Chain A
């Protein structure tokens, strides 16, 4: 619709016969309908204001973004819907100031939390020759979040590098301290027995503390240093058995029974064998430490067409939902010998493998830790042939106790 056409139409209005008037009127109505359809199809919100800041028109995107319904919005003051903006000042700006685009970002909390880019442009309203304004709103929540994520991850990266550097530097004096304590221990052997033994005890405590510091640093570096997994196709049940064999002395020592339920066959997955072994080690260690003497750890392997799952269910004391939410916070160990970093390592490795972790627990009812590793290829879902599931179990029980 060209404005030239409208000017001509207005000029000739008095001379038009009813028939042509009706035709032109219909044509204008159709054009208005078309424009409204276009405006409502826009992702950007469009609001037209009169000189007093009342809404003359709003498209559906504007109504959705700001959470008002179109019909009652007309003739409402904009200040009621978009608060925190000095509408009086904006609408009373002089010609020169109006000619500059007014743009800013605003954060809204209703109807949903969003970040909007918002700009106001002046328009001359044809009907009454008074000024008005168009408000254009664009939802930039996604872009804003992405920007924040990049900022956060850059900040995290800088902190990680700094922390790793500090931890590494602490390692040097610690190493020296360890050597000197060993030398001191050697020298103490030449002292008279009574004095020597008392001093040996003191040095022993100091050495244990140095070893604990060293463990914290090693675990800390392992938790924060990103290491890309070297993926290889693995039989996960083998990796699990290797971990259990490695941990057998501790399992026997605590008189804990381990039962492995493994379907046949287990789909192969691509993982970094050593890293996943570390994950199993930490999860099992966590379970063992949660149980007093004589508990049962049930490890169940299962799969669907997307994931291979391993659940580790212990019969320990379990934790409350409040503590559950803090499970992956660093240095929150309630164990005597824990560094509070074991589960962070599990989380990091699982994240780098594109895996997932699920934890269920109730106080007094033990804890179930489930790891999901994605399968290389989605398997085609087939109907299962009727077959009795095989159960394999290992029962490492300590000798002499029953």
Chain B
């Protein structure tokens, strides 16, 4: 059986984060973080194949998080979520 890809969901809204988790956990191994800082800690322990992050986050914003994540050796696919 092939390994399920790992996806890191970064979202400060609890319900949205958990909703995305439930929607994706069937096909992905999901990791959750409620802030950019927390997301970087998670990435230190477990590298992710995909990062799905909200643009607006308390503290570090999604764009900064993605830049920091892409500076590492592993080059995850990054998807930014934003409201108009």
Chain A residues with a Cβ under 8 A of chain B: 168, 171-173, 175-176, 179-180, 182-183, 186, 218, 221-222
Stretch at the interface among B17-25, B30-38, B40-48: B17-25
Cβ 8 A contact of B16, one of A168, A179, A186, A222: A179
Q: Name 20 A/B residue pairs within 8 A (Cβ), A-sorted.
A: A168-B83, A171-B83, A171-B84, A172-B13, A172-B83, A173-B13, A173-B15, A175-B13, A175-B16, A175-B83, A176-B13, A176-B16, A176-B19, A179-B19, A179-B20, A180-B15, A182-B23, A183-B22, A183-B23, A221-B84
What separation, in Å, do the CA atoms of A208 and B36 have in the docked complex? 33
Top-7 shortest CB links A-B: A179-B19, A176-B15, A176-B16, A171-B83, A180-B19, A172-B13, A183-B22
- In the complex, which residues of chain A have a beta carbon less than 8 angstroms from the beta carbon of B20? 179
B84 touches A172 (CB 8 A): no
B16 to chain A: closest residue by CB: A176
What separation, in Å, do the CA atoms of A20 and B23 have in the docked complex? 112
Cβ 8 A contact of B19, one of A183, A218, A222: A183
- In the complex, which residues of chain A have a beta carbon less than 8 angstroms from the beta carbon of B83? 168, 171-172, 175
- In the complex, which residues of chain B have a beta carbon less than 8 angstroms from the beta carbon of A182? 23
**A355 vs chain B, min Cβ distance (A):** 24
- In the complex, which residues of chain A have a beta carbon less than 8 angstroms from the beta carbon of B15? 173, 176, 180
The DSSP consensus for interface residues of chain A is: helix
How many residues from B make CB contacts under 8 Å with A? 9
> Which of B16, B19, B83, B84 counts the most chain A CB atoms within 10 A?
B83
**A254 vs chain B, min Cβ distance (A):** 28
| New A-B contacts (13) at CB < 8 Å, excluding given A172-B16, A183-B19 | A171-B83, A171-B84, A172-B13, A172-B83, A175-B16, A175-B83, A179-B16, A179-B20, A180-B15, A180-B19, A183-B22, A186-B23, A221-B84
What separation, in Å, do the CA atoms of A180 and B83 have in the docked complex? 17
**A206 vs chain B, min Cβ distance (A):** 15
- In the complex, which residues of chain B have a beta carbon less than 8 angstroms from the beta carbon of A176? 13, 15-16, 19
The DSSP consensus for interface residues of chain B is: helix
- In the complex, which residues of chain B have a beta carbon less than 8 angstroms from the beta carbon of A179? 16, 19-20, 23
- In the complex, which residues of chain A have a beta carbon less than 8 angstroms from the beta carbon of B13? 172-173, 175-176
What separation, in Å, do the CA atoms of A134 and B21 have in the docked complex? 81
**A174 vs chain B, min Cβ distance (A):** 9
What separation, in Å, do the CA atoms of A183 and B19 have in the docked complex? 8
What separation, in Å, do the CA atoms of A183 and B20 have in the docked complex? 9
**B62 vs chain A, min Cβ distance (A):** 14
**B15 vs chain A, min Cβ distance (A):** 4
- In the complex, which residues of chain B have a beta carbon less than 8 angstroms from the beta carbon of A172? 13, 16, 83
User: Could you tell me which residues of chain B, from 32 to 82, have a CB within 8 Å of some CB in chain A?
Assistant: none
**B26 vs chain A, min Cβ distance (A):** 9
- In the complex, which residues of chain A have a beta carbon less than 8 angstroms from the beta carbon of B22? 183
What separation, in Å, do the CA atoms of A172 and B84 have in the docked complex? 11
**A192 vs chain B, min Cβ distance (A):** 22
What separation, in Å, do the CA atoms of A220 and B77 have in the docked complex? 33
**A25 vs chain B, min Cβ distance (A):** 83
What separation, in Å, do the CA atoms of A171 and B23 have in the docked complex? 19
What separation, in Å, do the CA atoms of A156 and B76 have in the docked complex? 44
What separation, in Å, do the CA atoms of A168 and B56 have in the docked complex? 11
What separation, in Å, do the CA atoms of A48 and B84 have in the docked complex? 65
**A222 vs chain B, min Cβ distance (A):** 8
What separation, in Å, do the CA atoms of A222 and B83 have in the docked complex? 12
- In the complex, which residues of chain A have a beta carbon less than 8 angstroms from the beta carbon of B23? 179, 182-183, 186
> Which of A168, A179, A221 counts the most chain B CB atoms within 10 A?
A179
